[in-house]
Amino acid sequence: MVCAGSDSMDLSRALVSSVANMDVEHLRSACRGPVIAAGDPGFREALHGNLWNRLIPDRAPDVLVKAADDDDVIAAVTFARANGLKVVVRGGGHNWCQPTLRNGGLLIDLENLNRFLSVDVESRRAIIQPIISNRDIQKTLNPLGLAFPTGHCPQVKASGYFLGGGMAWNPTVWGFGAESLEAIELVTAQGELITASETENADYFWAARGAGPGFFGIVTKYVLKLHPLPKAIHGQEIFYRLADAPAIGRWLGDIAPDLSPSIELTLFLVQAPPALQAGAAGQNGWVCMVTATAFEDTPEAARAALQPLDRSPIEALARSVATPLDFEQLFDASGALFPEGVRSRVEATYSNHSPGDVMDVILPLWPKAPSATSVFLLTIFCGPDVPAPRKTMARSITSKIYGGPWTMWREAEADPANAAWHQQVITALRPYNIGYYIGESNTVENPDLVAQSFAPENWDKLRRLRAHYDPEGVFFDYSEGFSGKSETVR
């Protein structure tokens, strides 16, 4: 059930009586940041204001704390333990399936922990708080000749990005974002502030890199290992007819192992740009778009890496030449595909099938999409060593391709049509999937996807670590708090 946005609906009314039994004033006196209880003025705006997906469920906590610092986080966890409240944590509020909205408990919102704390150019090391956007990380580092494997969407914050593992720019060279973490600081279920790295509190460090919304701690600082900024980032766009998507997918899948690992290669189904709309009218405006970005150190190397894409077996509707880009331009292009203020359903998957096979399955369904805002994408990993070996962190699934449908629309009355069509698409894709990305899949409505977001041995280890480090169940797990009743600490 989702909220229709009526001002007359008070999401918190069923929780007011339980809040009254707690000494919320004691928590307010212990915190520098705002503490807002269910029934307080402004509760609804505080709860929903920073959520990316405007398809908002009617779940709500008993109390919300907008932490101002580490001490507020510790105070909130201590209060929750004393009052039998389960804890959920919100970073940037960008997770598509809204796992930070639970029934009952205490929500700790980190949106005020939003500072770049330090950058050491010589040692290529930075320390940040969790609510720094992908765009702002690059904007701070790039003028210094440095970069970091941030995610693609400009608005996404570090917190949820790292906890999901981090689907990064330049992935075959830089790896996932979480692989470039040196250490973290976090508050445990016992309310203690600790440091974790590969050599200190290593279990926490292992789990924080990929556990997603089931992590059993609250990260308040990230220590980043930085990379030299590539001196020549060049990009190219090529458009084809929608009907050509399977053949283009097969061609790209065939040549990907021989392409430079410096290339990030993606196959999209999108609405045609204005110059191509007349030719795409027969497919309701949809076209196949290929984007390729080379992260190299010289323009000559970048152009050479992209050159094989000029030898397409099918005539393109339009193509650009290899063009110099910077991260600001990359973020502008990515952000345009995923606009703000939309209602969304997403399921991002891993597969070792040919991209052409995936396109064959999608092609009959895509022209029927109810919303022209929707996007289908497949990232095709390039180079001879794909899929890459698993790293020593919770995030553990690797594959030849990654992607799925991002179903996006704006009107509440269009919810049923888009939900039904989205379900058709993900059902058609299911036989091709070997796993899911926990940061971009609907693990709330489909809880079975949680275990499928990890290699089996990693999932078993993650469950053992949760039981060991949060034995009282202070933190909501992946599936608690989504039913109609409140849940308390065991």
Q: For residues 336 and 433, state if they share a domain.
A: yes
Q: For residues 353 and 446, state if they share a domain.
A: yes
Q: For residues 189 and 236, state if they share a domain.
A: no
Average pLDDT over residues 290-316: 97
Q: What is the pLDDT of residues 22-41, one digit of tens each?
A: 789 999 999 999 999 999 99
CA-based end-to-end distance of the chain = 27
The residue among 439, 485, 472, 453 whose CA lies nearest residue 102 is 485
* Crossing angle (nearest 10°) for helices 415-429 and 355-362: 140
Q: For residues 256 and 395, state if they share a domain.
A: yes
Reported for 203-206, long-range contacts at CB under 8 A and 24+ positions apart, including other chains, are 203/465, 203/468, 203/469, 204/469, 205/181, 205/393, 206/392, 206/393, 206/394, 206/461, 206/465
- Mode of pairing for the β-strands spanning 181-187 and 193-196: antiparallel
Provide the pLDDT confidence category of residue 72 given band limits of 50, 70 and 90: very high
Residue 146 lies in a domain: yes
Residue 474 lies in a domain: no
Domain final residue, candidates 57, 91, 112: 112
Average pLDDT over residues 335-351: 95
Per DSSP, the three-state class of 146 is strand
Enter the pTM of the model.
0.94
Residue 461 lies in a domain: no
Find the domain containing 73 and state its range.
Answer: 13-112
Q: For residues 223 and 239, state if they share a domain.
A: no
Domain final residue, candidates 167, 194, 228: 228
Q: For residues 383 and 333, state if they share a domain.
A: yes
pLDDT for res 9: 39
Phi, psi for residue 243 in degrees, rounded to 5: -65, -20
Tally of domains within the chain: 3
Residue 254 lies in a domain: yes
pLDDT for res 368: 96
pLDDT for res 11: 40
Average pLDDT over residues 388-410: 94
Q: For residues 31 and 94, state if they share a domain.
A: yes
Q: For residues 252 and 104, state if they share a domain.
A: no
Q: What is the CATH number of the domain that holds 20?
A: 3.30.43.10
Residue 2 lies in a domain: no
Q: What is the pLDDT of residues 420-472, one digit of tens each?
A: 999 999 999 999 999 999 999 999 999 999 999 999 999 999 999 999 999 99
C-alpha distances out from residue 274 to 23, 286, 325, Å: 59, 12, 22
Average pLDDT over residues 262-286: 95
Q: What is the pLDDT of residues 145-200, one digit of tens each?
A: 999 999 999 999 999 999 999 999 999 999 999 999 999 999 999 999 999 999 99
Whether the Cβ atoms of residue 116 and residue 90 lie closer than 8 Å to each other: no
